Structure 1
Amino acid sequence: MAAWARAAAPLAEAAVATPAEPWRCGGTWFVGLDALDNDTRGTVGATDFPWDEVGLAPTALHRAQVSVVRPGYPQPSPDETEAGFRFRLNRDSAHLDGLIAEGPEKRRRVVEPHRWIIGLPLNAADAGASPLVVWEGSHEIMRAGLLAALQGVPEADWGAVDITEAYQKARKRVFAECARVELPGVPGEAVVLHRLLVHGVAPWAKGARAAGEGRMVAYFRPVMGSVGAWLLAP
């Protein structure tokens, strides 16, 4: 994992230096979707992806997201409502990947059912430098809440169902019942998340420091076959 991070870091830094998208949150977050120049096996340069070490079966991978968070995160921005900023600041912008908010009312459907999420830190950063945050056990609460909302709907049609209220209700229960855990990391480590786990990013703690632009992490989220598998598989 350390060798992969060393090989990936210069490519990630190059992507940040010539960004294909603007920084968000008042210039404190580079989303970096598909920014890393890896191949479908996860190889960067001549360095293979550490499948055995992370404990995952090899699968085809997209170009990794290179997420970079700077000191001061988050800051207000014109593309985010005041309520959205407060949620980012006070609730770490907690969310479930794969749900796409559509239209002016931000109605949600399951559009990208991911197999799992893995994050590999690419540079050194203090624990308070906007670490990844997860809510322990939240995947089972989210699974139960979404399945209840889909009762009576043919499984083949689950991806077309508006699950906004069910999602928000289940997430509210997560906040009340699940422990919030911060997961800072360093190069040579990896974090593997269940695809239904609620997660987010903590605000940058006062005095925290990171090498380079800020905390830099490569994320992979390969898509699985169906919304049914996404909700029903272990």
Structure 2
Amino acid sequence: MVEAFFSRGWCVLPFDARVKTWGEAAWRAGREAMQAPSMRQWWVCENTWFVGVDALPNDETGSINNVPFGGAPVTAIKALYGSWPDLHKAQLSVVSPGYPRPREDESEAAFGYRLRRDAAHVDGLKRGPNGERFLEEPHAWIMGLPLTANEPDQGPLVVWDGSHEIMRNAFAAALGDVPPEKWSVTDIRQPYQQARRAVFEQCQRICVQAKPGETILVHRLLLHGVGPWADTYESAQEHRAIAYFRPELNSVGNDWLKLR
């Protein structure tokens, strides 16, 4: 698993009953969060995508409504990175039939990128007022926990296999001579865009399939996005839901640029 993850930049961990039980509790809480007035801001793309940042009421151990978090995800992260951090409140990503629709104030070009390229991105980069890109949140890793079935035509998580290496090389060239404390104000838009184009040419696009009880691990530098909910897809499900943990590094240093 370790070698496969660092080689490809992502993996799906096998089913774990403890993860499934946690996911059931998380989805109960998630459905409440989706309807809460305080969370209304997170319904975007004409109500076809709920991007609920910090939407789930878990504690720092991951426990949610007295259901503990543990098992395969914790074991895997310790094997990959050596330790398990305190957790933030999980993000809840929910896609509905009709996605993608234009996001509020989204330009025609940006919506075209969402349609053609699944809004592919590296997490943690902030867009500046003139299109600049800055490192705002240096994540340690990304963990997705399916709360519903994830099918290829049902708004899936999309990854570009092995793209973390291309993105890493581009960011290292752009930031290698810049003190880490200045990374958050250093514009990396040009190398970022060039690296994405290289990824689209060289890396395979994969729709990740996983079910409740399985765990999706994604390298922090992997290019990924959200695929469309196909018009022809028929399902009894009203939503595709994934909970995400994305803890930040304690200090940026050069750790963010490491492949391992």
TM bucket normalised to smaller: over 0.9
State the shift of 1:51 in Å.
Answer: 4.4
The correspondence for 1:8, drawn from 22, 26, 30, is 26
CA displacement 1:30-80 (0-9 Å, x = unmatched): 111100010011111222112444512321111111111000101124421
In 1, Cα distance between equivalents of 2:22 and 2:117: 32
Partner of 2:51: 31
Indicate yes or no: 2:133 matched with 1:108: yes
Amino acid at match of 1:72: G
Please say if residues 51 and 92 of structure 2, whose CA atoms lie closer than 8 Å, have aligned partners that are also in contact: yes
Of 16-25 and 188-197, deviating more is 16-25
Is residue 209 of structure 2 the alignment partner of residue 184 of structure 1?
yes
For 1:93, the equivalent position in structure 2 comes to: 119
Helix, strand or coil for the counterpart of 2:77? coil
Residues 212 and 10 of structure 1: is their aligned pair in 2 closer, same or farther, counting only changes over 3 Å? farther
Q: Which 4+ residue blocks in structure 1 deviate beyond 6 angstroms?
A: none
Counterpart of 1:191, as a letter, is I
Question: Unpaired segments of 5 or more residues in structure 2?
Answer: 1-18, 79-83
Instruction: Note if contact 1:69-1:215 (Cα within 8 Å) is conserved in structure 2.
Output: yes
Say if 1:126 and 1:210, in contact at 8 Å, map to a contact too: no
Q: TM (normalized to structure 1)? A: 0.93
Q: Answer yes or no: is 1:70 the counterpart of 2:90.
A: no
What amino acid is aligned across from residue 220 of structure 1 in structure 2? F
Contact 1:5–1:121, Cα closer than 8 Å, also in 2? yes
Q: Which has the higher helix share?
A: 2
- Distance apart, 1:125 and its partner CA: 4.7
State the 1:211 CA deviation: 5.5
Identity value in percent? 47
Q: Secondary structure at the match of 1:26?
A: coil
Displacement of 1:210? 5.2
CA RMSD of aligned residues (A): 1.7
1:7 Cα deviation after fit: 1.5
Counterpart check, 1:229 vs 2:249: no
> 5+ unaligned residues in a row in structure 1: which ranges?
none
Partner of 1:173: 198
Partner SS for 1:85:
helix
The alignment covers a number of residue pairs equal to 233
Structure-2-length-normalised TM-score = 0.84
Against the structure 1 CA distance between its residues 49 and 161, is the aligned structure 2 distance closer, same or farther, given a 3 Å change threshold?
A: same
Give the 3-state SS of the residue equivalent to 1:147 in structure 2: helix
Contact 1:127–1:208, Cα closer than 8 Å, also in 2: no
